[in-house]
C-alpha cells in the first residue's frame, strides 16, 4: 500500500475576510516575538487574495512583496501596514 502525501497550503483555506482576520489574530497571539509567524501569515493571506493584486493595492512591487513576506524576509513596519491595508485588514491593540 502506497501512501500519498497531499501538500497543505493555508492559503487554500482563507476564503473570507473573516477567515483571514481570525488567522492573523491567532498568529499575533502565538508569535514568539520575532514577527516570523505574523510575516508568514501575511504571506499566506496575500497568496490567498493574489500576490499581484496585493502588490498593486499596496503600491509595492510584486517581487519586493514576495521578498518581504518570504521565509527569509524582514519587512519594515511601513510595509506591514501597507500590506494589511491592501488586504482589507486593520491592526489594533487591546490590553493584555
Q: What is the tens place of the pLDDT at every residue in 47-70?
A: 999 999 999 999 999 999 999 999
Q: Where are the alpha helices (DSSP H) in 1-90?
A: 17-30, 36-49, 51-58, 62-69, 77-86
The percent of residues in the chain predicted with pLDDT above 70, rounded, is 100
Which candidate, 50, 79, 48, places its Cα nearest to that of 65?
Answer: 79
Give the C-alpha separation, 48 to 12, whole Å: 7
Which comes out higher in pLDDT, residue 3 or 78?
A: 78
Full-model pTM:
0.90
pLDDT of residue 71 exceeding 80: yes
The pLDDT assigned to 64 comes to: 95
Tell me the three cell numbers of residue 84.
494589511
Amino acid at each position: 500500500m502506497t501512501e500519498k502525501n497531499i501538500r497543505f497550503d493555508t492559503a487554500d483555506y482563507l476564503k473570507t475576510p473573516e477567515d483571514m482576520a481570525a488567522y492573523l489574530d491567532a498568529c499575533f497571539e502565538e508569535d514568539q516575538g520575532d514577527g516570523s509567524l505574523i510575516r508568514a501569515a501575511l504571506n499566506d493571506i496575500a497568496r490567498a487574495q493574489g500576490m499581484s493584486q496585493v502588490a498593486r493595492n499596496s503600491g509595492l512591487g510584486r517581487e519586493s512583496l514576495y521578498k518581504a513576506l518570504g521565509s527569509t524576509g524582514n519587512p519594515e513596519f511601513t510595509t506591514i501596514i501597507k500590506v494589511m491595508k491592501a488586504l482589507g485588514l486593520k491592526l489594533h491593540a487591546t490590553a493584555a
